[in-house]
Amino acid sequence: MQTVELQLQSDQVSPELRELVLTLLSASKTIADKVRRGALAGVLGSAAQQNVQGETQKKLDVIANDILKQALLASAQVRALASEEEDNVVAANAEGGYVVAFDPLDGSSNIDINGQIGTIFTVYRAQDVASDSPEQFAQPGSAQVCAGYVLYGPSTQLALTTGGPSRLYTLDTDGQYVLTEAELAIAPDCQEYSINMSNQRHWAPDTQGYIQALQAGSEGPRGKDFNMRWNGAMVGDVHRVLMRGGIFLYPANTQSKIHNGKLRLLYEANPMAMLVAHAGGKAISGAQKILDIQPESLHQRVPVILGASNEVDEFSRQHH
């Protein structure tokens, strides 16, 4: 039995980063416990307040954010943190060598239906600027030292990379994350796609053409049938891609509110792009690799197309 603690040691992850990852995981276990108890823990429903992006927060968004924030503020390794649920960068320990960004509870609309939800996180090296400066996070995804998510599903699972392979762990009843897939690998070809079809009329013509070709199946230009799956939680949809392949898309949208896609670069697109890249897949925003994007603001949104490498290439070929 290989616990995440032992695996991080054998992967020669520095003691400081190890400590930081274990702090994140300890917080995730507290969240997992509340998620599991659901209505019994009084965590369902709306918090009757909005975040900086104008989204109504659920109680569990706020609870998960507070659990992670308190844990990270108490860590000697953390210089600053950023969260979907925090307007600005929050300063932590001036001596810390790392900064952490997270989406405390991804897939908020699944909370009240007992659907898949998760915590997405990423770690960068702290920069030589004020702890609470947005510059701490003005680093491209290629500079991430660690990325992962915890999926609160029928099992609680952790996908994690510290620069080597993307690995999968499962939370045991004794509170240990145990290695269950040493190297996740996304096959280059696929027959499954994941997209919110209700936005179809708002997509760019190239995106509409690409999806129409998939829908045409074996009679169309692609010459094969495709299936479609959509969890409504990125963490669940990307997990499926990591487990059995496929392509996930949240493309640009002509609706003004999500003109540049819905998903956030810092704490959604980048960590997922790193996990996918370290499992042999690709992640792009259109013309650019997600991991190459130079961030312009903390809560910046980007189109996300990720998964099977040949399928992502096929999407690119149809977008000029």
Is the CB of 102 or the CB of 124 nearer to ligand AHM? 102
180 binds, among ligand AHM, Mg ion, none (CB under 5 to 8 A by kind): none
Instruction: Tell me how crowded residue 256 is: count the other CB atoms within 10 A of its CB.
Output: 6
Residues of this chain that bind ligand AHM (CB under 6 A) = 55, 84, 103, 106-108, 196, 232-234, 250, 262
3-state secondary structure of 289: strand
Tell me how far, at minimum, the Cβ of 84 lies from ligand AHM, in Å: 6
Taking a C-beta distance cutoff of 8 angstroms, is the pair 146, 272 a contact?
no
Is the CB of 240 or the CB of 262 nearer to ligand AHM? 262
Does 192 participate in binding Mg ion (rule CB under 5 A)? no
Residue nearest to ligand AHM (CB): 234
Is the CB of 12 or the CB of 50 nearer to ligand AHM? 50
Taking a C-beta distance cutoff of 8 angstroms, is the pair 179, 160 a contact?
no
Is the CB of 106 or the CB of 192 nearer to ligand AHM? 106
* CA distance readout (Å), 39 to 60, 108, 129, 301: 11, 15, 43, 32
Q: Which candidate, 148, 134, 121, places its Cα nearest to that of 87?
A: 134
Q: How far is it, in rounded angstroms, from Cα 80 to Cα 38?
A: 30
**Phi then psi for 141, rounded to 5 degrees?**
-60, -25
Is the CB of 84 or the CB of 86 nearer to ligand AHM? 84
Tell me how far, at minimum, the Cβ of 26 lies from Mg ion, in Å: 21
Q: How far is it, in rounded angstroms, from Cα 139 to Cα 135?
A: 8
Measure CA 46 to chain center: 23
3-state secondary structure of 262: coil
Tell me how far, at minimum, the Cβ of 82 lies from Mg ion, in Å: 13
Q: Which residue has the tokens 């992640």?
A: 283
Binding mask 281-320 for Mg ion (x = CB under 5 A): ----------------------------------------
196 binds, among ligand AHM, Mg ion, none (CB under 5 to 8 A by kind): ligand AHM
Tell me how far, at minimum, the Cβ of 106 lies from ligand AHM, in Å: 5
Taking a C-beta distance cutoff of 8 angstroms, is the pair 306, 272 a contact?
yes
Tell me how far, at minimum, the Cβ of 304 lies from ligand AHM, in Å: 8
Does 103 participate in binding Mg ion (rule CB under 5 A)? yes
Question: In 196-232, which positions are buried (b, 16+ CB within 10 angstroms) versus exposed (e)?
Answer: eeebeeebeeebeebbebbeeeeeeebeeebeeeebb
| CA-atom Rg of the chain in angstroms | 19
214 binds, among Mg ion, ligand AHM, none (CB under 5 to 8 A by kind): none
262 binds, among ligand AHM, Mg ion, none (CB under 5 to 8 A by kind): ligand AHM
Is the CB of 13 or the CB of 234 nearer to ligand AHM? 234
| Residues touching Mg ion, count (CB under 5 A) | 2
Interface residue with Mg ion among 106, 192, 237, 311 (CB under 5 A) is: 106
Tell me how far, at minimum, the Cβ of 266 lies from ligand AHM, in Å: 12
Strands 247-250 and 192-194: parallel
Q: Which residues pair with 2 in a beta bridge?
A: none
Can you give the binding site for Mg ion, defined by CB under 5 A? 103, 106
